[in-house]
Structure 1
Amino acid sequence: MTISRRNILKIGGAAAALPLLGSKAFAQTEPLKVGFIYVGTINDNGYNYAHNQGRIYLQEQLGDAVVTTYVENVPEGPDCERVIRELAQQGNKLIFTTSFGFGDATIKVAQEFPDVAFEHATGYMKADNVGLYNARFYEGRAVCGTIAGHLSKTGKAAYIGSFPIPEVVMGINALALSARRINPAFTVKPVYISTWNDPAKEADAARALIDQGVDIIAQHTDGPAALQVAQERGIVGGFGQGADMTAFAPETQLTAIIDHWGPHYLASAKAVIAGTWTAGDTWEGLKEDVVQIGPYNAKIPADVVADAEKIKAGQIDGSFKIFTGPIKDNTGTERVPAGVAMTDAELLSMDWYVEGVEQPV
Structure 2
Amino acid sequence: MAARVTDVHQFTKSLPVILADIERLVRQESPSADAAAVAACADLVARLGTTVLGVAPDRIGPHLRWRLGTGPARVLVLGHHDTVWPVGSLASHPFSTLGGILRGPGCLDMKTGVVMALHAVAALADPAGVTVLITGDEEVGSPSSRALIEAEAAGCAAALVLEAAADGALKIARKGVSLYEVRAIGRAAHAGLEPHLGVNAVLELAHQIPVVAQFADEQAGTTVTPTLLKAGTTTNTVAARGSFHVDVRVTDEAEQARVDKRMHALTPFLADANLEILGGPNRPPLPVSASMDLFARAQRLGKGLGLDPVTGVAVGGASDGNFTAGVGVPTLDGLGAAGGGAHADHEHVLIDEIPGRTALLAVLIEELLEESGETHRG
TM exceeds 0.5?
no
Work out which of the two has the higher radius of gyration on C-alpha atoms and give 1 or 2.
2
TM-score using structure 1 length: 0.26
TM-score using structure 2 length: 0.25
